[in-house]
């Protein structure tokens, strides 16, 4: 009992610290609404949403096919690599490599690969496959670690890590969870594939960006519904049996091609060497360059931190409240189905897209990004948490929904809730940095500018800064999880 | 092992694509400085015209950003491009030997407009009003000549400070059409825009001039041009660059010219853009510290 009290006190303190940091950040954040008549634009959007229309069927089919092939090829390659990493996940350098791969956002990978391979299938597929393999390595690795060790010990006592032991006594135990997770990654890959269209690859996002930018909301609505349809239909076609057919089919339909020339790669790599070394600058000039670079890294990093911490706490609040929509403690029957449907729709919309729409409606500030990240991540956590709450026994004393929420629901689920939030923390930082591409002054803004002026050395350094921030969040959240949360 | 097989498949498909490029395809692109639909209409006409004049298949590929256009040019994905002043300078730096071959007649004396939302109360004048300070401001694309480079140069000249220090908020709309839309909606108080895109939008009735109007016009400078890669004759046979230049200068079809809108195309060379390059260096957009 004493231990329990101590633990709940420390959880409360932990929450308080995060909330205080977010409040502190709020004081510095730019949250202005600068459009004068957001209502009008919203009305146009709503009208467009209800009247979906495909202006060019051929173009639409082509984009849909590209979206599918990018995501399927990316996930298949990522699952293979991730699986191999997971086998060796006990080695520190594998864990580091996986953490590094996933700390750089798909969009940044794509910007790099477009430089090397041109606008091509290979660039798109690699941009998805690399970060995803890092994420899948982590989850597969943890799933393999969490299995019951007894069968493995029983087969070959004393020996550890033999190949047959792995395939007969370890893998089968984790396989179900791994399959389940791979299906979820496929959903993420479709989202990522759409987002890559926004920066020029030929997926649905390419036309979605055009449609949103020019206010053709009916076309945008059709594309959006296509995205949702793809994600919802996953459960019908993303199955082991069909994949034996589908995977070769997509590799034949859209083979991995690239505008590939050795000298493009050589030149790109040469350009990635920091300018002072590449061009042999004098120390004075180098110092000026370093000052200029440092300013961008500092300002970008600071804004990324501000935005991410605010978004993290709001994500938590939204997730706690939103999870009740998918919880048997509060909703039943069709009401719950609707509530869960709402969370699933919010979860299906990429934060890049939500931010893009937010910028049109609210104008340029950090507000659209905060809303976008909160809705997307909050819906993901909310959905999971709600589902998890079904395992919790109903409250013993009958009481109203509000007191049930405050005195039964939240306290019993709080550890699980914090664990989910910490898991999302690194992802939120990664996303925040990336959203700068849309104009908020986080790291992505400066990275995009560096690409704009072909300063690949600067782009690489700033991408490494964002990777370092993401990995720092990963490490801290792992420590916090170990220290404060004892989950089975 | 399966991973190795996948790698093998990947390499084979790479070789296959390399074999495909044996017979060169002539492709061009353009910086996406405005509405995509408008660009596709305009450059599809140019592609058809060039296909006929050069008696070969000419393809236009649309891109999403200025650097994407430069990268495609640099990587020989396109051999010809319609660049802005600054992006042309960047592209020619990235591909040594490449040449500016033609510009629009109007591009010899191009200009930018500063436009303002009516609620700011700013009035048209013959210099940049000091009342601009503290307003919100949007450029076009980060790498645009008429939407970024020249406006920034004149802002620095008038205020002696970087735009970020003059205005309360500085944004990059992405393209000129979007700049007009954002200032018209009031999302930004003031913006800088390509005069030709503005004039055409006003003529088409796409602008609500009671909400947004021109408050200042910059002095003139050289802007857009067609740039070809230096190795184009090696790729498509001796004399190809001359034939291409002739074809571009010989565009008389009013439908094509009005699409730009330009009255005709005139010869240009790399030195035409020396002043643009100098300006870009001065405000630190091209590597110089």
For residue B61, the chain A residues in CB contact (below 8 A) are: 119
**Six token digits for residue A469:** 């921030």
**10-residue stretch averages of pLDDT, chain A, 488 residues long:** 72 92 93 79 90 91 95 96 93 94 96 90 96 96 87 73 80 91 95 94 93 88 96 91 90 85 86 92 92 96 97 97 92 91 93 90 90 96 93 85 90 91 94 93 95 93 97 93 71
pLDDT by 10s per residue, chain B, length 289: 445 455 444 444 444 444 444 558 999 999 998 878 889 899 999 999 999 999 999 999 999 889 999 999 998 889 999 999 999 999 999 899 999 999 999 999 999 999 999 999 999 999 999 999 999 999 999 999 999 999 999 999 999 999 999 999 999 998 898 899 889 888 899 999 999 999 999 998 889 999 999 999 999 999 999 999 999 999 999 999 999 999 999 999 999 999 888 999 999 999 999 999 999 998 888 876 7
DSSP A164-200: HHIIIIIHHHHHHHHHHHHHHHHHHHHHHHHHHHHTT
In a domain, B2, yes or no: no
Give the C-alpha distances (Å, rounded to integers) separating A378 from A319, A327, A381. Answer: 4, 15, 5
In a domain, B10, yes or no: no
Task: Express each pLDDT in A206-249 by its tens digit.
Answer: 999 988 888 889 999 999 999 999 999 998 999 888 888 999 99
Q: What is the C-alpha separation between A295 and B162, in angstroms, rounded?
A: 15
Q: What is the C-alpha separation between B53 and B64, in angstroms, rounded?
A: 28
- Residue where a domain stops, chosen among B172, B200, B217: B217
Q: What is the C-alpha separation between A235 and A202, in angstroms, rounded?
A: 25
For residue A214, the chain B residues in CB contact (below 8 A) are: 35-37, 177
At A272 the pLDDT is 94
Give the C-alpha distances (Å, rounded to integers) separating A373 from A112, A302, A429, A431, A432. Answer: 24, 17, 10, 8, 8
For residue B89, the chain A residues in CB contact (below 8 A) are: none
Peptide bond into B261 cis (omega under 30): yes
The partner residue sitting opposite A34, judged by closest CB among B76, B143, B187, is B187
At A450 the pLDDT is 94
End-to-end CA separation in angstroms for chain A: 18
Identify the CATH number of the domain defined by range A54-260: 1.10.3720.10
At B19 the pLDDT is 44
CATH number (domain holding residue B134): 3.40.190.10
Distance of CA A260 to the CA centre of its chain: 29
Give the C-alpha distances (Å, rounded to integers) separating A464 from A291, A293, A299, A469. Answer: 17, 13, 15, 9
Secondary structure (3-state) at A455: coil
Based on the domain organization, do B104 and B127 belong to the same domain? no
Secondary structure (3-state) at B40: helix
- Residue where a domain stops, chosen among B199, B217, B235: B217
**For B30, left (φ over 0), alpha (ψ -120 to 50), or beta?**
beta
At A20 the pLDDT is 95
The partner residue sitting opposite A275, judged by closest CB among B2, B75, B287, is B287
- Residue where a domain stops, chosen among B168, B201, B217: B217
Based on the domain organization, do B209 and B227 belong to the same domain? no
Under CATH, what is the fold of the domain A1-30+277-488?
Answer: MetI-like fold (1.10.3720)
Number of structural domains chain B divides into:
2
For residue B65, the chain A residues in CB contact (below 8 A) are: 199-200, 452
Domain boundaries, chain A: 1-30+277-488, 54-260
Based on the domain organization, do B197 and B227 belong to the same domain? no
**Six token digits for residue A402:** 């509000």
In a domain, B132, yes or no: yes
Based on the domain organization, do B197 and B119 belong to the same domain? yes
Beta-bridge partners for B193: B113
Indicate the helix (H) or strand (E) that contains A335.
Answer: helix A333-348
At A118 the pLDDT is 85
Task: Report the candidate in B174, B34, B152, B146 with the shortest Cα–Cα distance to residue B84.
Answer: B146
Cβ of A80 within 8 Å of Cβ of B6? The answer is yes
Which residue range is the domain that position B37 belongs to? 25-108+222-282
Q: Is the dihedral of CA B278, B279, B285, B288 positive or negative?
A: positive
Best mutation target, A34, A88, A195, to test chain B (most B CBs within 10 A): A34
What φ, ψ does residue B226 adopt, rounded to 5°? -90, 130
Find out whether A5 and A478 touch, Cβ atoms under 8 Å.
no
Cβ of A210 within 8 Å of Cβ of B77? The answer is no
Best mutation target, A29, A121, A364, to test chain B (most B CBs within 10 A): A364
Q: What is the C-alpha separation between A249 and A246, in angstroms, rounded?
A: 5
In a domain, B165, yes or no: yes
């Amino acid at each position: 009992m004493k231990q329990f009290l101590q633990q709940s006190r420390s959880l409360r303190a932990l929450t308080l610290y995060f909330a205080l940091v977010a409040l502190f950040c709020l004081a510095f954040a730019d949250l202005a609404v600068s459009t004068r008549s957001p209502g009008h634009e919203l009305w146009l959007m709503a009208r467009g949403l209800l009247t979906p229309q495909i202006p060019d069927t051929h173009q639409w089919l082509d984009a849909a096919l590209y979206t599918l092939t990018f995501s399927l090829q990316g996930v298949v390659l990522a699952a293979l690599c991730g699986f191999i990493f997971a086998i060796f996940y006990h080695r520190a350098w594998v864990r580091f490599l996986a953490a590094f791969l996933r700390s750089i956002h798909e969009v940044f990978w794509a910007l790099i690969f477009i430089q090397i391979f041109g606008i091509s299938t290979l660039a798109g597929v690699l941009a998805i496959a690399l970060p995803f393999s890092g994420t899948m390595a982590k989850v597969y690795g943890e799933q393999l670690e969490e299995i019951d060790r007894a069968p493995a010990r029983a087969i070959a006592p004393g020996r550890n890590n033999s190949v047959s032991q792995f395939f007969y006594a370890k893998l089968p135990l984790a396989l179900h969870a791994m399959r389940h997770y791979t299906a979820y990654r496929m959903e993420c890959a479709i989202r990522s594939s759409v987002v890559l269209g926004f920066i020029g690859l030929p997926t649905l996002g390419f036309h979605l960006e055009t449609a949103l930018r020019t206010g053709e909301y009916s076309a945008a609505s059709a594309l959006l519904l296509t995205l949702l349809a793809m994600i919802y239909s996953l459960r019908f076609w993303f199955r082991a049996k069909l994949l034996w057919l589908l995977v070769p089919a997509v590799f034949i339909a859209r083979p991995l091609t690239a505008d590939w020339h050795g000298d493009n790669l050589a030149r790109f790599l040469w350009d990635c060497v920091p300018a002072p070394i590449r061009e042999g600058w004098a120390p004075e000039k180098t110092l000026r360059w370093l000052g200029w670079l440092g300013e961008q890294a500092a300002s970008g990093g600071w804004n990324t931190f501000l935005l991410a911490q605010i978004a993290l706490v709001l994500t938590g609040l939204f997730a706690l409240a939103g999870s009740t929509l998918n919880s048997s403690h509060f909703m039943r029957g069709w009401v719950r189905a609707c509530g869960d449907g709402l969370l699933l729709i919010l979860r299906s919309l990429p934060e890049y897209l939500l931010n893009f729409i937010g910028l049109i409606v609210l104008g340029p500030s950090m507000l659209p990004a905060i809303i976008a990240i909160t809705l997307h991540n909050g819906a993901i956590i909310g959905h999971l948490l709600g589902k998890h709450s079904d395992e919790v026994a109903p409250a013993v004393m009958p009481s109203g929904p509000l007191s049930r929420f405050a005195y039964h629901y939240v306290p019993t689920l709080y550890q699980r809730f914090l664990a989910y939030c910490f898991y999302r923390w690194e992802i939120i930082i990664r996303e925040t940095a990336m959203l700068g591409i849309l104009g908020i002054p986080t790291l992505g803004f400066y990275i995009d500018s560096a690409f704009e002026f072909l300063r690949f050395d600067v782009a690489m350094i700033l991408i490494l800064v964002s990777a370092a921030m993401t990995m720092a969040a990963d490490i801290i959240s792992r420590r916090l999880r170990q220290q404060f949360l004892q989950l089975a | 092992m399966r991973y190795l097989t996948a790698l093998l498949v990947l390499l084979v498909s790479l070789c296959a694509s390399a074999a495909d490029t044996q017979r060169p395809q002539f492709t061009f692109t353009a910086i996406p400085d405005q509405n995509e639909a408008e660009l596709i209409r305009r450059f599809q006409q140019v592609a058809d015209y060039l296909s006929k004049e050069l008696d070969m298949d000419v393809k236009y590929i649309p891109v999403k950003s200025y650097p994407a256009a430069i990268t495609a040019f640099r990587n020989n994905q396109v051999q010809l491009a319609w660049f802005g002043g600054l992006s042309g300078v960047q592209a020619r730096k990235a591909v040594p030997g490449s040449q500016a071959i033609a510009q629009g007649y109007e591009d010899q004396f191009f200009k930018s407009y500063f436009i303002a939302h009516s609620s700011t109360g700013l009035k048209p004048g013959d210099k940049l009003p000091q009342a601009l300070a503290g307003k919100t401001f949007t450029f076009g694309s980060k790498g645009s000549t008429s939407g970024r480079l020249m406006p920034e140069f004149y802002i620095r000249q008038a205020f002696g400070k970087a735009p970020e220090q003059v205005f309360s908020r500085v944004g990059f709309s992405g393209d000129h059409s979007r700049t007009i839309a954002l200032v018209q909606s009031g999302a930004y108080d003031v913006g800088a825009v390509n005069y030709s895109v503005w004039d055409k939008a006003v003529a088409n009735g796409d602008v609500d001039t009671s909400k947004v109007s021109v408050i200042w016009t910059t002095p003139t400078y050289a802007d857009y041009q067609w740039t070809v890669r230096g190795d184009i004759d090696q790729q498509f046979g001796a004399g190809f660059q001359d034939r291409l230049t002739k074809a571009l200068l010989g565009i008389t079809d009013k439908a094509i010219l009005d699409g730009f809108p330009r009255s005709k195309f005139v010869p240009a060379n790399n030195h035409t853009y020396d002043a643009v390059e100098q300006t870009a260096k001065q405000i630190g957009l091209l590597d110089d510290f």
